[in-house]
Amino acid sequence: MIDINLIRTNPDLVKDNIRKKFQDHKLEYVDKVLALDEQIRNLKKEGDGLRATRNTLSSQIGLLMREKKIDEANKIKEQVVKNNARIEEIEKEENDLSSQLKKYMMSIPNIIADDVPIGKDDSENVQRLTVGAPKIPNFEIPYHADILERLNGLDLDSARRTSGNGFYYLTGDIARLHSSILSYARDFMINKGFMYCIPPFMIRSDVVNGVMSFEEMENMMYKIEGEDLYLIGTSEHSMIGRFKDTILKEEDLPLCLTSYSPCFRKEVGAHGIEERGIYRVHQFEKQEMIVICKPEDSMKWYNKMWQISSEFFSTLNIPHEVMECCSGDLADLKVKSCDLNAWSPRQKRYFGELGSCSNLSDAQARRLGIKFKSKDGIKFAHTLNNTVVAPPRMLIAFLENNLNSDGSVNIPEVLRSYMGGTSVIRPKK
């Protein structure tokens, strides 16, 4: 949510930003916000005047009663009653108009960074960097589900019987590899100076509304029936929500946190949920990184965070690209975002999002009331998030890039201690 003062002082900038995001249907929201804001301020002014008058009249009533001027006192009492009735009407009108205002404010997208490429959707994202030499083996790379099944590591049929499409069983060495990658990611981030956390896996609706747009919530979140609780789609949600309605100390910033959680997503409208494999699923596990910092530091942390992810995947022998998200591919709360996409030897192209790094400036902080106290007063903090690793999807890239011609998979040095010293996973006969 952007600062309403920006809409008051520079509505054309806000409208231009909406056009850059190809959301022209929201242009009228700016005018509606301005109109509602003026009505609310006029009502507030009227209400403040009536309250001041009420205080004055109340003093007069006391004086008249002491002077035994009962009739005059009663007339003023009648006026006070009328004023009180009008004050109640004003407060109700204010609440109703404020609810409408908030609805529009929550839908107006955040102001994107000046260097974000302009484009309608992810097909117009821009490659900024490639890391690692793409591998083109002299043997055919099977589809990832086939690799996993030959390693006796995947059971989709049983998962369909117990849970439906979009679920899976990981077994044996692959299940251990999955857990090993998460453990390695945890230690990798701790060694980078991030505090490790395990957050709640369910959050209330006010936190959901604080961390994401309504459209994202409807497409992603599973609601717990009969309770004001949602299963998290990523630990960023509960990690940022942890600081709801808090005033942090400037000297404690930045807060650098890394969190583990299972994640649950409806994937409404997603293509491929029926396909055989683990690329798009309803549940997965994830190591996340979150930074809460001062506004002047957020871009520095944005660049540092995606570089940490790039370094992590390089240690796992996964070549990748850094793709900057264009304006139309940015979620409404984001100022700037980039994706790390893995090289696919099977497809001979970069394919498969390893993670996404985002700077949300003060959008989440305004919604949730996350502030810090500086020498210049109370300010809203900036929030950033980035995927460290999210298996099982990333296992696809891992398997393809570490596969041998005999179907075995090499385990990089950094993972072997987590795998009990195993250096190669071999197909099961």
List the CATH number of the domain containing 98: 1.10.287.40
Q: What is the pTM of this model?
A: 0.89
Low-confidence stretches of the chain (pLDDT beneath 50): none
DSSP 160-222: HHHT-TT--EE-HHHHHHHHHHHHHHHHHHHHTTPEEE---SEE-HHHHHHHS-HHHHHHHPE
Residues 126 and 67 in one domain: no
Query: Residue 339: beta bridge partners?
Result: 323, 356
Torsion of CA 37, 42, 45, 46, to 10 degrees: -140
Its domain, for residue 315, covers: 122-425
Residues 143 and 224 in one domain: yes
pLDDT the model gives residue 27: 97
Torsion of CA 217, 26, 5, 40, to 10 degrees: -90
Residues 317 and 419 in one domain: yes
* HSE (side-chain half, CA atoms, 13 Å) at 266: 14
43, containing H or E segment: helix 27-66
pLDDT the model gives residue 218: 75
> Token pair for residue 173?
């060495």
Position 165, amino acid: N
pLDDT the model gives residue 76: 84
CA distance 120 to 198: 37
The CATH number of the domain holding residue 412 is 3.30.930.10
Residues 231 and 362 in one domain: yes
Residues 283 and 178 in one domain: yes
Residues 142 and 196 in one domain: yes
